[in-house]
A and B are shown apart, each in its own frame.
Chain A
Amino acid sequence: MTTALFSIAGAVAVVAAVVVVTTRRIVHAALWLVVALGAVAGCFGALHAEFVALVQILVYVGAIVVLVLFALMLTKAPTNPLPALTTRRSPFAAVVAGVLFLLLGTGVVIAFGNKKIKPVPAGAAADVGTAVFRVWVLPFEVLSVLLLAALIGAIVLSQRSGKLSEPDETVSSSGKGDD
């Protein structure tokens, strides 16, 4: 049951990811990213990591993709298909990625080809919460500092004044929040 569920979600994720990296419409790519991330969240659910799945949907779909869409809007991304959304190196990049896939896939198959995941108990947010605040509390705090730093960095980067005082078009730097 979980295998089937996982397979379906995984297939959706792969298809959506392929569209994300190949489509010629940028906005479509962003939207297909939502599909891919949601499908991955489904995969998490199938692995009984419900809390992670929820966080995935909340943060990724709710925040990150929205941010991306905002960015697309701010950079005046066209909604029509672009003729050249990939670089001239894309065939080579495909080959590199393919070789990497073969390499990693072979490695994974050799290493874990016959391992099974036993039926896992249904995950609960409580377990994760307990683990976070009991075992992983120090990394958690460090992470909060990191987020703060990212926040400040984003603000500094998107400020209009400073050295980059070029007389360019009026792009508002609003909505540069954070999570």
Chain B
Amino acid sequence: MIATAWRVIGVGFSLLVILTAALLHGVDPQQADFAGSYAGIHTYISFGVRTDDLTVLMLAVVGVVSACVQVYSIGYLEKRVASYTALVTLFTAAMVTVVVSDSLFLLLIGWEVMGACSYLLIGHYWERQDARAGAMKAFLMTRLGDVGFLFGIFVLGVAGDTFRISDLHADQMSSPALTAGTLLLLVGVVGKSAQVPLQTWLPDAMPGPSPVSALIHAATMVAAGVFVIARLFDLFTAADATLTVLAIVACVTMVFAALCAMAAVEVKRVLAWSTVSQLAIMFAGLSLGTRDGRHAALFHLLTHAAFKGLLFLCAGVLLHQVGSAAFVVLRRYTRRGVLRKAMPVTFVTMTIGLGALAGVPGLAGFFSKDSVVEAAWDHARDGSTVGWVVLVSVCLTAVMTAFYCVRLWLWVFFRTPALAGALGAFEADDPMADLEDPDTSKLHDGSWLMLAPLILLAIAAAGLGYADGVHIDWPIALVTTVLALFGALPAYSLWQRGADPRPVLLEREFGVDSAYQRLFVVPVQWFAKLAVGGDRDVIGGYVRAAGKAGTLASEGFRRLQTGNVQTYLTAAVVGVVALAILAGVIGS
């Protein structure tokens, strides 16, 4: 009953967000303060909201994706529905707060609420150890970034003498303050959007429910980082150093994450790394510092929301029906070619999603990626090093993206003739590889509640590329298509030979996790042990000693109570004598 109520509220809220976006579309930018207070003498902190194109765009993205996720979750989730739905709604609301806020502090509130919601939702299956660990990791790493974010807000607000975003102008503040503030904000963005070096939480957040992954990856949370930079774009463009850092982070991240995705052996993990990589492409577009770059990044954000949401929901269907999204498990179904036939809708929509991700011409991802490449190319032609770096990185990433998309698609959905029904390269992952095929008769597509969002998002993933008005720079389109083919062909040939070489370095994701483990976790645990030990053995020692002293003293005093009157009397006389001597000593 409560669950139903929450579902109604959740879906209703998402629809409300969509409606708001629709109503605000085309309306002139407005802003309004509805509360505020003075902090100090002349720093006024207001809680204002604003609407402009960016807000409308983000509202639409958030509303559609969260509506899809809410509807999808009705069919997907069985247990703890009420709390889950409430949290998803809160998550959406927090993202909406971030999107509409005209106050850095209001933005921070939404930002932090999202962090808390992501923690709770990733840890939805808290019975599972990996879910708990992933939730904790996500929370701690984003929190680490949020510290920088908070101080960035302070620096920018104090330097600009206002916390209203629409009043913050780069020419008001000194260059060091601007650079410091934007760099600090960037730390928060890097944490929230899982960029290098704070990237490891996002893949580890995969034990959360798939719809939550879709929400996090498509509309909320990670997109918030892109949104903040787009929102404060004027400040960032004025801070060259920050843009350079952003470009470096983005380029490193996109290649790094794509490499990791190439070696991942679990559908959701591949998708997670691809999200990191695609977000980096958006950041790369923003880091160009040009209007075209920003536009391209936001365009990519829009299309990415569609196809990445779609892909995660598809992965959710696989998880829901098969029980796992690991390649090795899926291969056991698919080595007879069952998966594809049993789940036609999932197959088709996932194909569209992967195609959009890989940049198949005509699908959404193709156009948006091309616009980033185009912006980078324009910028590079102007003689910008950053432009060249971004251009090369995005092209490289396009190759790798095509590779892992094709790899995922082929290995999951197609039997390999060369392997004659064997599991292939993933046998080593599964001790039960020799078992009989699982029962596939009950495998089907899932309810229409789950399929409808898939179809909706698939349409979006296919068609959103045309929303921006079709303009194709033919040479670039040709180049990126060729690059995608360069990525796709090796994947195909490897699959056909039944081989999936995974370099150890990539499989371990460059050892970042274990390095962090050694660098941070182990010392922190060591300090924690020290603190616990100090608490237990030093402070607790005093406490216990106090108790022990009391016990021992009372033991001793108990012994004094012999019941022998003469002993008492002796003590009394001794006391009197001692007092008399004392009095004599003092008196003399």
A interface residues, Cβ below 8 angstroms from B = 87, 89, 92-93, 96, 99-100, 103, 107
Contacts and interface: CB of A to CB of B under 8 A. Distances in A.
Contact of B577 (A87, A89, A93, A99): A99
A135 to B, nearest CB: 32
B580 A103 contact: yes
Interface stretch (B416-424, B489-497, B565-573): B565-573
18 contacts: A87-B566, A89-B566, A89-B567, A89-B570, A92-B570, A93-B570, A96-B570, A96-B573, A96-B574, A96-B577, A99-B577, A100-B573, A100-B577, A103-B577, A103-B580, A103-B581, A103-B584, A107-B584
Interface in B542-579: 566-567, 570, 573-574, 577
A160 B196 CA distance: 98
Closest 8 pairs between A and B when the two form their complex, measured CB to CB: A100-B577, A96-B573, A99-B577, A103-B580, A96-B574, A103-B577, A93-B570, A96-B570
A14 B547 CA distance: 52
Interface of A is mostly: helix
A107 B570 CA distance: 21
A99 B581 CA distance: 10
Contacts of A92: 570
Interface of B is mostly: helix
A100 B580 CA distance: 9
Contacts of A103: 577, 580-581, 584
Contacts of A100: 573, 577
Interface of B: 566-567, 570, 573-574, 577, 580-581, 584
Contacts of B574: 96
Contacts of B581: 103
A106 to B, nearest CB: 8
A103 B584 CA distance: 10
A168 to B, nearest CB: 21
B20 to A, nearest CB: 91
Nearest to A95: B574
A87 B580 CA distance: 26
Contacts of B584: 103, 107
A96 B573 CA distance: 8
Contacts of B580: 103
A20 to B, nearest CB: 17
B24 to A, nearest CB: 96
A100 B574 CA distance: 9
A102 B573 CA distance: 14
A89 B569 CA distance: 12
Contacts of B573: 96, 100
A93 B581 CA distance: 17
Given A99-B577, A100-B577, A103-B584, 13 more contacts: A87-B566, A89-B567, A89-B570, A92-B570, A93-B570, A96-B570, A96-B573, A96-B574, A96-B577, A103-B577, A103-B580, A103-B581, A107-B584
Contacts of B577: 96, 99-100, 103
A88 B263 CA distance: 89
A93 B568 CA distance: 12
Contacts of A107: 584
A107 B588 CA distance: 12
A108 to B, nearest CB: 13
Nearest to B576: A100
Nearest to B567: A89
Contacts of A93: 570
A25 B584 CA distance: 40
Nearest to B571: A96
Nearest to B564: A87
A89 B573 CA distance: 14
A103 B570 CA distance: 16
